A and B are shown apart, each in its own frame.
Chain A
């Protein structure tokens, strides 16, 4: 009969509509389905039924660990409380950057004339950056990593969209916080390397 297909289709729409309320009622005893981290996780998983909306900005969809946006630089704080950049201004990130959005200012030691193994300044033009993550991937010192912060909209790109070193610098603890698994992995590799080095020195 003509029209059966249409009715079937409408049935699917109806099902989607009803499912939301059925799920809402099922979740009532657990304190509702909205504005709750646990509930959001279920609502956005493969078990999602009914309404699928994330109520941004009240609730935010958590980003996975690997999520990448704009790069940032890592500094460590040594015993005297002085910030020490991990970056040695080797320039691999600037070389591998596909759209060439990284600028590094190097300097020489005024006394010896040798290059200082730290950047004087470091610029990333986020209006060119393509968030590809190659800089973080190929940095031999784990000094540049991809940030999770995506709320960067602004009214003035000339003022706000060239990140300098001050804007890019983040403490190591920040990195450990946003990428715990990667951080643990890298620290392990680093410790192993140190141990191997020490062992080699001993055997000599």
Chain B
């Protein structure tokens, strides 16, 4: 979205002149990204200090409006179907529900060109490395919509040995759409919810203009079972605890 970008730069320059503070000072974003909470909420005001006199400043809010208007009406989803929900996603793209009315018809097969990943279906352990990789390849700003019960929390297949209980275990999710599968209108409602989220964002606080680039999410490893690299530091500890517990259970 080149339009948005050019406006930002002029806008942030003006902001710096008046405010006189460094734009995104020491927020420690990149370190946080892959720790406990995958992605901090960017609307959360406490992440960034905005001087009192600048809050609600006319230029910024107008810019925000323009910037978000441009972005909300050109959310390009990735052409990425996983399971049953993908069929309903295709129906949303087809003529009856037609999300081109929201500027979303340009479904991109390549993650490099897409803004939105609709995780439409069951996330399996065999597939999650690819999903994380695709997410990492998407340029900022990027959004993730978990479509359906499976993508949100494991769904009916949750107990399965090859199923991940929700894509948000690995990738930060912006909107959850419940349903199995969500009807096309439910998905449209989810997409509108996402647009509302975009509307609330401000160029002052969004993470993709922060100085530190956000780091990629480590790719899960397919070992004897799925291993999350973020668990690695205390893997041995946890494994020992599990074994101890199993031994105790075996005794009783």
Interface residues of A (CB under 8 A from B): 44, 51-57, 60-61, 63, 69-70, 98-100, 125-131, 150-157, 160-161
Check B176–A55 contact: CB distance below 8 A.
no
Check A126–B149 contact: CB distance below 8 A.
yes
Q: Which 8 A-B pairs have the closest CB atoms?
A: A127-B153, A153-B190, A99-B156, A130-B156, A150-B186, A130-B180, A153-B193, A127-B152
Residues on A with C-beta less than 8 A from B174 are 155
- The residue of chain A having its C-beta at the shortest distance from the C-beta of B145 within the complex is A153
Interface residue? B154 (CB, 8 A): yes
- With A126-B149, A127-B149, A130-B149 as contacts: A57 and B154 at CB distance below 8 Å: no
Residues on A with C-beta less than 8 A from B183 are 63, 69, 150
Check A152–B185 contact: CB distance below 8 A.
no
Give Cα A127 to B156, complex, Å. 8
Check A129–B192 contact: CB distance below 8 A.
no
Known: A153-B177, A157-B166, A161-B152. 12 other contacts (CB 8 A): A53-B95, A69-B183, A69-B186, A99-B157, A99-B158, A100-B159, A128-B154, A129-B149, A150-B182, A150-B185, A153-B192, A154-B175
Residues on B with C-beta less than 8 A from A160 are 176
Residues on A with C-beta less than 8 A from B177 are 152-153
Check A161–B179 contact: CB distance below 8 A.
no
Give Cα A157 to B95, complex, Å. 30
Check B189–A153 contact: CB distance below 8 A.
yes
A47 CB to nearest B CB, Å: 15
30 A-B pairs with CB atoms under 8 Å apart are A51-B95, A52-B96, A54-B97, A69-B183, A70-B178, A98-B156, A99-B157, A126-B149, A126-B178, A127-B149, A127-B154, A127-B155, A127-B178, A129-B156, A130-B149, A130-B156, A151-B186, A152-B177, A153-B176, A153-B177, A153-B178, A153-B189, A153-B190, A153-B192, A155-B176, A157-B168, A157-B173, A157-B176, A161-B152, A161-B176
Give Cα A8 to B56, complex, Å. 59
Give Cα A125 to B166, complex, Å. 13
